[in-house]
Chains A and B, each alone.
Chain A
Amino acid sequence: MPIKVLVAKPGLDGHDRGAKIVARALRDAGMEVVYTGLHQTPEMIVTAAVQEDVDVVGVSILSGAHMTIFPKIMALLKEHDVDDIAVVGGGVIQEADIPKLKALGVREIFNAEATTQELIDGIERIVGETGRDRSRREAGAAR
């Protein structure tokens, strides 16, 4: 089964160029991609991740609210008992905040310099590490 990714745009900021390019590049690389659209709350993102049964949530945020939004997403994933879903991030995230985000359990932050190939390789590696069983989806198992 292909890796399934939820590309998510939380908060109020409308900078979706990167999110859309990432969504298309991952799709072109053979992954299954769901894009949430803009202005999602952490609750909406986690609900979508559970319903779509994704392997990865990619959060794109350029508003500066990342230190408010990532902790909420991580806590909600835990609450829903799906913290095996890997969370990665991108956007405008200052260097100093990256260790803090990783300490929260965010697997990787891809900054604006990351190439789409680095992104694809990174996501494949991370999904390999989480060892999420994707065959369930094939069997039609829903959570």
Chain B
Amino acid sequence: MQTTEKTIADEQREWEQLTLLPFTARRPESREAFRTQGGAVLERVYTPAHVADIDFSRDIGFPGQFPYTRGPYPTMYRAQPWTMRQIAGFGTADDTNARFRFLIAQGQTGISTDFDMPTLMGYDSDDVRSEGEVGREGVAIDSVDDMLDLYAGIDLEQISVSMTINPSAWILLAMYLVVAEERGFDRTKLSGTIQNDIIKEYVAQKEWVYPPRPAMRIVRDTITYSAQHLPRYNPVNVSGYHTREAGSTAIQEVAFTLAAGIAYVEEVVKAGIDVDDFAPRLSFFFVSQIDFLEEVAKFRAARRVWARAMKERFGARKPESMRLRFHCQTAGVSCTAREPLNNIARTAIEALAAVCGGAQSLHTNGYDEALSIPSEPAMKIALRTQQIIAEEVGIGGTIDPLAGSYALERLTADIEKGCFDYFAEVDKRGGVVKCLEDNYFQMELADAAYDLHRRKEASERHIVSVTKYRDDSANPVVELHHADEGAADRQLARLRKTKAARDANAVSRALDEIVRVAKTDENLMPATIAAVKARATGGEIVNALRPVFGTYVETPVF
């Protein structure tokens, strides 16, 4: 059909001829192409023509409604701000408990626990592999006695507790449940999260014990156990944070994470559980990086992709099964060791992106993130940054405030397409676990990280105070968290005390029972809870199962 009406594309071409070209002839742009951090080329300007394929009702819609682009809930921050959840963990349980109480006193509304490397990897503090690492990067937890002190004085029915733990997550969950029981809390009222996302461990974070297939069974057991006994608990927190921090693109972060989510759902559905009986308790975790626009688009795209995947792939019927809820952390890798106070500004921008993207909870990094685990003053400013956004900026007054921006909607749709392209590739390659075993995700990630690094070294984007505006005369000294040299010895003493006080025969019977269960298809949780109650240590349980499950050995690729 002939039309005399000018299209927007025509208008843009005219603008380019009449306005842009004469201008750039005099004053050229500073570079050939502008890219997002993920490498996508940005248009000079976006118009309705760039979003002509996006349909408001189908693709954007309303918050709390399919496809949840705008948010999982209809009221979002108009009801209450996101949960301010600063992660903490160092030294012994007592040390970390003091930090938790400090943060709660400062107005923090959730707890998040960082464990030391031995706990994360399933080694006890007295294991030779643990030397030098006990209580160093997180808190050391060997037995339920440690766990009791870790959350001492904290009302576990009132505050939600998150635990960043993966290959040994099921043991820590068992310890948490025993703590709740011994302190008289009602299990059905416990709210909180274990990370328990083993897939991204093989891809990015690299804390593993067993090979992927038995590890998937453990995740399945925690999800099915929670579905039956812990109605308010999130048994898995599918995480993109580590993948992105390891150098992935924004698309890879979302695509690999949601692919992992799909793999867990498949695993549990295969065990005969209805998708709507557990999918509402799945939760997610993304980074908020410094590329503000791309990040807001990423969060929106993640919700839309998950909703569509759950509906189309698994036939989910409950809205709660389709709405993606996520925790967010600002980007550790964006922080610099040089002029560390500048990290406060970076973190504030990243936190704002998380809020504009509709995060359910948020950790803001301390300004000392690039130097050590955070000091108390650094954590206080990080928490204050969130409080300023919540109380002073007023961004929560309207939901998904950046929707409708041509640029944002285009980026959102492009990230969504990138995710579905990855899903198709993963399916073609035989699924997520097969891709892990074949190092597919690992190589994709290594390629992206190297590409990002080369673009960084080519100064595609500068890093203030490092590659530009470098001031060697002024590097303000900040007081750092000091590793407590006595913490390891105190932890070893605690462990000896627990071992001396327990009934060794009961422990050994409980471990035998876990091994028996592991060889069947029964759920591992009840036997693990019994062993933990008998004061079996995490390392003992992990080691008892090594002969059954095997030990993962990585094939390093770079």
Contact with A along B236-258 (1 / 0, CB 8 A): 00000000011100000000000
Q: Which candidate, B92-100, B445-453, B497-505, B537-545, is the interface stretch facing chain A?
A: B445-453
Residues of chain B in range 336-358 having any CB-CB distance to chain A below 8 Å: 337-338
- In this assembly, does B370 line the interface, its C-beta being within 8 Å of a C-beta of chain A? yes
Contact with B along A41-58 (1 / 0, CB 8 A): 100000000000000000
- Whether B556 contacts A24 by the Cβ 8 Å rule is no
Please indicate the chain B residues that have their CB under 8 angstroms from the CB of A115 in the complex. 457
Please indicate the chain A residues that have their CB under 8 angstroms from the CB of B554 in the complex. 37-38
- Whether B372 contacts A92 by the Cβ 8 Å rule is yes
Please indicate the chain A residues that have their CB under 8 angstroms from the CB of B131 in the complex. 68
Please indicate the chain B residues that have their CB under 8 angstroms from the CB of A67 in the complex. 132
Please indicate the chain A residues that have their CB under 8 angstroms from the CB of B372 in the complex. 64, 92, 94
B138 vs chain A, min Cβ distance (A): 10
Please indicate the chain A residues that have their CB under 8 angstroms from the CB of B118 in the complex. 12
- In this assembly, does B376 line the interface, its C-beta being within 8 Å of a C-beta of chain A? no
Chain A: CB-nearest residue to B247: A17
**Which of A17, A33, A35, A39 is most buried by chain B, counting CB atoms within 10 A of its CB?**
A17
Residues of chain B in range 459-506 having any CB-CB distance to chain A below 8 Å: 466, 480, 483
Report the separation of the CA atoms of residues A115 and B246 in the bound assembly, to the nearest whole angstrom.
18
- Whether A94 contacts B446 by the Cβ 8 Å rule is no
Report the separation of the CA atoms of residues A131 and B432 in the bound assembly, to the nearest whole angstrom.
48
**Which of B206, B370, B372 is most buried by chain A, counting CB atoms within 10 A of its CB?**
B206
Please indicate the chain A residues that have their CB under 8 angstroms from the CB of B414 in the complex. none
Report the separation of the CA atoms of residues A15 and B205 in the bound assembly, to the nearest whole angstrom.
7
Q: Which of A37, A63, A94 contacts B480 (CB 8 A)?
A: A94
Q: Which of B132, B337, B446 contacts A68 (CB 8 A)?
A: B132
- Whether A11 contacts B133 by the Cβ 8 Å rule is yes
Contact with B along A9-30 (1 / 0, CB 8 A): 0011111110111011100000
Chain A: CB-nearest residue to B470: A113
Q: Which of B117, B133, B370 contacts A92 (CB 8 A)?
A: B370
B197 vs chain A, min Cβ distance (A): 14
Report the separation of the CA atoms of residues A131 and B118 in the bound assembly, to the nearest whole angstrom.
39
The B interface, classified by DSSP as helix, strand, loop or mixed, is loop
Report the separation of the CA atoms of residues A65 and B483 in the bound assembly, to the nearest whole angstrom.
10
Chain A: CB-nearest residue to B337: A112
- Whether B132 contacts A94 by the Cβ 8 Å rule is no
- Whether A63 contacts B450 by the Cβ 8 Å rule is no
- Whether B337 contacts A12 by the Cβ 8 Å rule is no
- Whether A65 contacts B247 by the Cβ 8 Å rule is no
- In this assembly, does B371 line the interface, its C-beta being within 8 Å of a C-beta of chain A? yes
- In this assembly, does B535 line the interface, its C-beta being within 8 Å of a C-beta of chain A? no
- Whether A113 contacts B207 by the Cβ 8 Å rule is no
Report the separation of the CA atoms of residues A80 and B97 in the bound assembly, to the nearest whole angstrom.
45
- Whether B337 contacts A111 by the Cβ 8 Å rule is yes
- Whether B446 contacts A20 by the Cβ 8 Å rule is yes
Please indicate the chain B residues that have their CB under 8 angstroms from the CB of A76 in the complex. none
- Whether A17 contacts B556 by the Cβ 8 Å rule is no
Report the separation of the CA atoms of residues A36 and B554 in the bound assembly, to the nearest whole angstrom.
10
Chain A: CB-nearest residue to B117: A12
B484 vs chain A, min Cβ distance (A): 12
- Whether B132 contacts A11 by the Cβ 8 Å rule is yes
Chain B: CB-nearest residue to A68: B132
- In this assembly, does B328 line the interface, its C-beta being within 8 Å of a C-beta of chain A? no
- In this assembly, does B129 line the interface, its C-beta being within 8 Å of a C-beta of chain A? yes
Q: Which of A19, A23, A41, A117 contacts B129 (CB 8 A)?
A: A41
- In this assembly, does B324 line the interface, its C-beta being within 8 Å of a C-beta of chain A? no
- Whether A64 contacts B136 by the Cβ 8 Å rule is yes
Report the separation of the CA atoms of residues A94 and B373 in the bound assembly, to the nearest whole angstrom.
12
A123 vs chain B, min Cβ distance (A): 16
Residues of chain A in range 64-83 having any CB-CB distance to chain B below 8 Å: 64-65, 67-69
Q: Which of A11, A17, A68, A113 contacts B245 (CB 8 A)?
A: A17
Q: Which of A11, A21, A92 contacts B453 (CB 8 A)?
A: A21
Report the separation of the CA atoms of residues A65 and B466 in the bound assembly, to the nearest whole angstrom.
26
**Which of B117, B132, B457 is most buried by chain A, counting CB atoms within 10 A of its CB?**
B132
Please indicate the chain A residues that have their CB under 8 angstroms from the CB of B117 in the complex. 11-13, 63
- Whether A17 contacts B449 by the Cβ 8 Å rule is yes
Chain B: CB-nearest residue to A96: B480
Report the separation of the CA atoms of residues A121 and B44 in the bound assembly, to the nearest whole angstrom.
39
Report the separation of the CA atoms of residues A35 and B337 in the bound assembly, to the nearest whole angstrom.
26
Please indicate the chain B residues that have their CB under 8 angstroms from the CB of A35 in the complex. 556, 558
A112 vs chain B, min Cβ distance (A): 6
Q: Which of A13, A23, A39 contacts B137 (CB 8 A)?
A: A13
- Whether A37 contacts B370 by the Cβ 8 Å rule is no
- Whether B206 contacts A24 by the Cβ 8 Å rule is no
- Whether A63 contacts B133 by the Cβ 8 Å rule is yes
Please indicate the chain A residues that have their CB under 8 angstroms from the CB of B130 in the complex. 12
- In this assembly, does B218 line the interface, its C-beta being within 8 Å of a C-beta of chain A? no
Report the separation of the CA atoms of residues A74 and B133 in the bound assembly, to the nearest whole angstrom.
19
Q: Which of A20, A68, A112 contacts B449 (CB 8 A)?
A: A20
Residues of chain B in range 90-148 having any CB-CB distance to chain A below 8 Å: 117-118, 120-121, 123, 129-133, 136-137
Please indicate the chain B residues that have their CB under 8 angstroms from the CB of A24 in the complex. 446, 450, 558
Report the separation of the CA atoms of residues A15 and B370 in the bound assembly, to the nearest whole angstrom.
13
Known A-B contacts A21-B453, A94-B371; A38 and B338 likewise in contact (beta carbons under 8 Å): no
10 closest A-B pairs by beta carbon, nearest first, are A14-B206, A68-B132, A37-B556, A12-B117, A65-B132, A20-B558, A23-B558, A17-B246, A64-B136, A21-B453
Q: Which residues of A contact B (CB under 8 A)?
A: 7, 11-17, 19-21, 23-25, 33, 35-39, 41, 63-65, 67-69, 92, 94, 111-113, 115-117
Known: A12-B129, A16-B206, A25-B453. 12 other contacts (CB 8 A): A11-B132, A13-B117, A13-B133, A14-B206, A21-B453, A23-B558, A33-B558, A37-B555, A63-B136, A64-B133, A65-B132, A117-B457
